[in-house]
């Protein structure tokens, strides 16, 4: 089969192809790279289609979608994924018709192309040996597209006119034919034909009928060679143009160059005048060299020396100019230069920098002991450098969150259709940057939240009108920086949470006691409990009572963040997720209990106070302490972590804030702030209570990083358990 023939229909049985298996072994890495690229292109295709729904007249977006699809086809063909290439080819053909204005853009069409995108994703997965793609589905889509194309081609002229009136092609003034592409035509009639002046004029008239014809260069006097240079804007095929020429001249020298602004095409490199003439056979390489060596104005010399006629030079110049312009336009479109680096390499880099920071702090400690000023200077320099390097490396891993947001447009579009609701997704702060690892883990929780908003939050258009709101609901997804954190909110303008219903449900599920006294916020927090769902009916969207608890545990457990919920009856619900900027390195507070070292996340530390034995006795060893006119509970780390050793008379209490809960941690001594490179405790200890990781101190000792939320919850549940006995 055309194992390498991009865009050809894939044959059923390959006799001796450069098959996927072979490539897999030879270039598994290459396939991986291409696969990533294709995935990105498919995302691009999807997002442009969704934009297209908003503004169907914008032909630039059609162009973007087309280019993405075209590159998918090319890339897939390149690595021998012929199913994908062939399917993409069919879709591309249909999309091309839209691009050329032959058929109008309907909602149905966008739907089909969106389905094609899904199918392509499936095909890609199955080509890589993950899952099966349904060939029938592909055929269905292609059939659907073909039907749409044939149906609307009857009204093609209308469609073309429609797109024309909405100014589909800015920058091409005065065309009246729904122009698709421009051709540069270089034509040298055969001597027999050149004498028939009348024929030539007839010919140019015919060309004029195909589209808008601009004659750049025509023979004026009899002495000149009869060279024609023309610019033709037409939506006819190339063959139609050739036919016109064939009609009048059976042996012309004719070259037709497409000037359509397709940046995905391989552009010929910038060509010098000499090269163009050489290629046309107007000059021999030797003569060209001759002239070049004289270095006069090149075209002039050629004419003066009677090597090439003025007309030929002018014609070549005209072509050169056009090509230059075409290149310029396309260059402007190319995006800023980026390098694709595997995440693995970046992770490794972060690890290395982490180790560098550890070594550096060890050096600083040694320098302090040695008390040698020159050494200390050098160490200080190193300290600055490594701090800068750390920030740099972390910045490289930062990605704008917008990439994640775009994924949800499709989700909202499809779900709102399914649920019969009109919903618009508004995104803000797409440029907010977050660590890649955080973004990766954020996707699922956000999907849950958006689904919830769509299903439970936003009402049906009728209900909304009855409530005096616009029929179209809005879900706002926004991200913003706040200090060392990023706040992400999912807000809807739907009916809001029903506190009474949540309470009822929580009581019937045994999550809270029937006589529990809960204020508003506490009630809303109940929806994060496992097994809670207040949707009356279980739909395939939500209502199974899983979801919100997963959201909470993912964000608190994996992302070390916090979730808060606010709601107002009839006005909507807002869920706010607060996340740390990075998971790799944090500012920590190093503390000690006997010989054991612990690190607290500095961002959550409020204050350090002393607490003496008398203070403890004053409260009869009840673990509470007055702070800021408030009685706050405390946890003694020595007891919680069962650290051996004797309790000192004067202890330190570090007041921390977690999720609006303020409490104290009582420990032996506070060492100071510490740049904490987070190291996972590993698979064995992933459920260690009250600990979120570890770090290596300058001394080489391993210190444990405290998970404040974990300590609070464990201490709370232990005390509850003890009191129930």
Nearest to other proteins of 61, 596 (CB atom): 596
Binds other proteins (CB under 8 A): choice among 107, 297, 339, 684: 684
Distance from C-alpha of 563 to C-alpha of 490, rounded to nearest angstrom:
11
Q: E strand or H helix at 328, and its extent?
A: helix 310-333
What tokens does 469 get? 């709101």
Q: How near is the Cβ of 686 to other proteins at its closest, in Å?
A: 7
Residues 575-614 binding other proteins (CB under 8 A) are 596
Q: Note whether 278 binds other proteins by CB under 8 A.
A: no
Distance from C-alpha of 650 to C-alpha of 644, rounded to nearest angstrom:
17
**Would you call 422 helix, strand, or coil by DSSP?**
coil
Q: Note whether 687 binds other proteins by CB under 8 A.
A: yes
Q: Are 422 and 473 in contact (CB under 8 A)?
A: yes
What tokens does 163 get? 């797109």
Helices (H), 128-183: 135-153, 156-165
Binds other proteins (CB under 8 A): choice among 525, 571, 587, 615: 525
Nearest to other proteins of 203, 526 (CB atom): 526
Q: Note whether 339 binds other proteins by CB under 8 A.
A: no
For 311, residues 6+ apart whose C-beta sits below 8 A from its C-beta are: 217, 219, 224, 225, 227
Binds other proteins (CB under 8 A): choice among 483, 700, 722, 725: 700
Q: How near is the Cβ of 346 to other proteins at its closest, in Å?
A: 16
Nearest to other proteins of 162, 713 (CB atom): 713
Binds other proteins (CB under 8 A): choice among 529, 566, 608, 624: 529
What tokens does 462 get? 């009728």
Nearest to other proteins of 296, 544 (CB atom): 544
Q: How near is the Cβ of 650 to other proteins at its closest, in Å?
A: 23
Nearest to other proteins of 414, 440 (CB atom): 440
Largest distance between two CA atoms of the chain: 119
For the beta carbon of residue 69, count every other beta carbon within 10 angstroms. Answer: 27
Residues 127-186 binding other proteins (CB under 8 A) are none
Q: How near is the Cβ of 696 to other proteins at its closest, in Å?
A: 5
Nearest to other proteins of 399, 716 (CB atom): 716
Q: Note whether 643 binds other proteins by CB under 8 A.
A: yes
Q: How near is the Cβ of 261 to other proteins at its closest, in Å?
A: 43
What tokens does 566 get? 């606010």
**Burial class for 572, CB neighbours closer than 10 Å (0-12, 13-18, 19+):** buried
Q: How near is the Cβ of 719 to other proteins at its closest, in Å?
A: 9
**Segment lying near other proteins (by CB under 8 A), choices 229-237, 482-490, 513-521, 616-624:** 513-521
What letters, b where the CB count within 10 A reaches 16 and e where it falls short, cover 594-622?
A: eebbbbbbbbbbeeebebeeeebeeeeee
Q: Note whether 508 binds other proteins by CB under 8 A.
A: no
Binds other proteins (CB under 8 A): choice among 10, 193, 691, 708: 691
Q: How near is the Cβ of 661 to other proteins at its closest, in Å?
A: 11
Residue (of 547, 543, 523, 531) closest to 455 by Cα position: 543
Nearest to other proteins of 12, 721 (CB atom): 721
Q: How near is the Cβ of 382 to other proteins at its closest, in Å?
A: 17
Nearest to other proteins of 293, 508 (CB atom): 508
Q: Note whether 534 binds other proteins by CB under 8 A.
A: no
Binds other proteins (CB under 8 A): choice among 59, 667, 696, 708: 696
Q: How near is the Cβ of 212 to other proteins at its closest, in Å?
A: 57
Q: With contacts defined by CB under 8 A, how many residues of the chain interact with other proteins?
A: 46
Distance from C-alpha of 178 to C-alpha of 578, rounded to nearest angstrom:
51
**Segment lying near other proteins (by CB under 8 A), choices 8-16, 82-90, 416-424, 713-721:** 713-721
Q: How near is the Cβ of 518 to other proteins at its closest, in Å?
A: 7
Distance from C-alpha of 548 to C-alpha of 525, rounded to nearest angstrom:
10
Q: Note whether 39 binds other proteins by CB under 8 A.
A: no
Strand ranges for 169-294 from DSSP E: 181-188, 211-217, 228-234, 253-258
Q: Note whether 641 binds other proteins by CB under 8 A.
A: yes
**Segment lying near other proteins (by CB under 8 A), choices 323-331, 421-429, 578-586, 702-710:** 702-710
**Would you call 406 helix, strand, or coil by DSSP?**
helix
Q: How near is the Cβ of 430 to other proteins at its closest, in Å?
A: 27
CA atoms within 13 A on the CB side of 89: 16
Residues 366-425 binding other proteins (CB under 8 A) are none
Q: How near is the Cβ of 702 to other proteins at its closest, in Å?
A: 4
Q: Note whether 219 binds other proteins by CB under 8 A.
A: no
Please report the DSSP string for 677-692 in residue order.
E-B---GGGTT-TTEE
Q: From edge to edge, which strands make up the β-sheet containing 650-658?
A: 605-612, 650-658, 661-667, 630-636, 624-627
Please report the DSSP string for 77-107 in residue order.
HHTT-HHHHHHHHHHHHHHHHHHTTSS---H
Q: Are 212 and 230 in contact (CB under 8 A)?
A: no
Binds other proteins (CB under 8 A): choice among 526, 600, 665, 667: 526
For 9, residues 6+ apart whose C-beta sits below 8 A from its C-beta are: 2, 86, 89
C-alpha distances in angstroms, 67 versus 61, 103, 467?
A: 10, 18, 45
Residue (of 139, 133, 127) closest to 19 by Cα position: 127
Q: Note whether 562 binds other proteins by CB under 8 A.
A: no
Binds other proteins (CB under 8 A): choice among 231, 511, 566, 671: 511
Q: Note whether 513 binds other proteins by CB under 8 A.
A: yes
**Would you call 22 helix, strand, or coil by DSSP?**
helix
3-class secondary structure per residue, 443-491: HHHHHHHHHHHHHHHCCCHHHHHHCCCCCCEEEEEEEEEECCEEEEEEE
**Segment lying near other proteins (by CB under 8 A), choices 26-34, 245-253, 285-293, 690-698:** 690-698
Distance from C-alpha of 688 to C-alpha of 667, rounded to nearest angstrom:
20
Nearest to other proteins of 110, 691 (CB atom): 691
CA atoms within 13 A on the CB side of 206: 15
Binds other proteins (CB under 8 A): choice among 107, 297, 339, 642: 642
Binds other proteins (CB under 8 A): choice among 393, 591, 703, 708: 703
Binds other proteins (CB under 8 A): choice among 25, 720, 722, 725: 720
Nearest to other proteins of 336, 720 (CB atom): 720
**Segment lying near other proteins (by CB under 8 A), choices 39-47, 249-257, 292-300, 717-725:** 717-725
Q: From edge to edge, which strands make up the β-sheet containing 702-706?
A: 669-677, 585-593, 596-601, 702-706, 691-696
Binding site for other proteins (CB under 8 A): 354-355, 358, 511-513, 516, 518, 522, 525-526, 529-530, 549, 553, 596, 640-643, 679-691, 694, 696, 700-704, 713-714, 716-717, 720-721
């Amino acid at each position: 089969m055309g194992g390498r023939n991009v865009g050809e229909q894939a044959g059923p049985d390959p006799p001796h192809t450069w098959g996927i298996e072979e490539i897999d072994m030879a270039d598994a890495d290459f396939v991986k790279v291409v696969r990533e690229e294709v995935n990105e292109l498919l995302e691009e295709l999807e997002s442009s289609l969704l934009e297209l729904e908003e503004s169907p007249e914008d032909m630039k977006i059609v162009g973007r979608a087309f280019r993405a699809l075209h590159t998918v086809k090319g890339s897939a063909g390149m690595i021998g994924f012929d199913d994908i290439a062939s399917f993409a080819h069919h879709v591309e053909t249909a999309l091309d018709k839209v691009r050329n204005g032959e058929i109008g853009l309907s909602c149905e069409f966008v739907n089909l192309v969106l389905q094609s995108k899904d199918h392509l994703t499936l095909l890609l997965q199955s080509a890589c040996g993950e899952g099966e793609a349904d060939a029938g589905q592909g055929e269905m889509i292609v059939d659907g597209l073909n039907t749409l194309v044939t149906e609307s081609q009857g009204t093609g002229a209308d469609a073309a006119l429609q797109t024309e009136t909405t100014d589909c092609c800015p920058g091409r003034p005065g065309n009246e034919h729904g122009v698709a592409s421009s051709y540069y035509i270089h034509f040298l009639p055969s001597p027999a034909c050149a004498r028939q002046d009348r024929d030539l004029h007839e010919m140019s008239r015919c060309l004029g009928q195909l589209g808008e014809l601009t004659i750049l260069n025509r023979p004026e006097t009899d002495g000149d060679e009869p060279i024609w240079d023309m610019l033709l804007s037409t939506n006819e095929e190339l063959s139609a143009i050739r036919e016109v020429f064939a009609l009048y001249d059976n042996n012309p020298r004719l070259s037709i160059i497409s000037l359509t602004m397709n940046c995905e095409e391989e552009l010929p490199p910038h060509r010098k005048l000499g090269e163009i003439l050489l290629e046309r056979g107007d000059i021999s390489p030797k003569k060209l060299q001759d002239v070049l060596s004289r270095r006069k104005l090149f075209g002039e010399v050629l004419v003066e020396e009677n090597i090439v006629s003025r007309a030929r030079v002018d014609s070549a110049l005209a072509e050169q100019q056009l090509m230059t312009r075409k290149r310029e336009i396309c260059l402007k479109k190319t995006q800023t230069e980026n390098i694709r680096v595997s995440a693995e390499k970046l992770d490794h880099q972060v690890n290395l920098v982490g180790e560098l920071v550890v070594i550096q702090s060890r050096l600083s400690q040694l320098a302090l002991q040695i008390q040698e000023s020159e050494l200390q200077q050098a160490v200080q320099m190193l300290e600055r450098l490594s701090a800068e390097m750390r920030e740099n490396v972390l910045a490289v891993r930062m990605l704008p969150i917008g990439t994640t947001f775009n994924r949800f447009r499709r989700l909202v579009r499809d779900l709102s259709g399914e649920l019969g609701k009109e919903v618009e997704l508004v995104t803000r702060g797409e440029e907010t940057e977050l660590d890649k690892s955080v973004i990766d883990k954020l996707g699922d929780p956000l999907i849950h939240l958006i689904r919830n908003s769509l299903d439970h939050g936003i009402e049906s258009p009728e209900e909304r009108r009855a409530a005096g709101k616009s029929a179209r609901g809005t879900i706002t997804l926004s991200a913003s920086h706040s200090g060392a954190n990023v706040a992400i909110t999912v807000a809807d303008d739907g009916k809001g949470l029903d506190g009474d219903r949540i309470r009822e449900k929580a009581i019937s599920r045994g999550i809270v006691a029937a006589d529990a006294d809960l204020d508003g916020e506490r009630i809303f927090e109940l929806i994060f409990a496992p097994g809670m769902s207040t949707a009356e009916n279980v739909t395939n969207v939500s209502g199974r009572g899983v979801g919100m608890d997963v959201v909470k545990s993912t964000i608190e457990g994996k992302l070390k963040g916090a979730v808060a919920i606010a709601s107002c009856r009839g006005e909507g619900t807002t869920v706010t997720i607060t996340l740390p900027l990075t998971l790799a390195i944090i500012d920590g507070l190093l503390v000690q209990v006997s010989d054991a070292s612990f690190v607290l996340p500095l961002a959550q530390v409020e204050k350090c106070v002393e607490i003496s034995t008398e203070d403890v006795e004053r409260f009869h060893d009840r673990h509470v302490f007055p702070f800021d006119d408030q009685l706050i509970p405390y946890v003694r780390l020595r007891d919680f972590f069962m650290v051996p050793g004797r309790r000192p008379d004067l202890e330190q209490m570090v007041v921390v804030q977690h999720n609006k809960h303020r409490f104290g941690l009582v420990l032996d001594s506070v060492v100071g702030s510490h740049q904490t490179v987070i190291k996972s405790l590993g698979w064995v200890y992933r459920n260690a209570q009250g600990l979120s990781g570890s770090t290596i101190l300058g001394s080489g000792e391993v210190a444990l990083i405290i998970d404040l939320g974990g300590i609070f919850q464990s201490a709370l549940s232990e005390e509850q358990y003890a009191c129930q006995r």
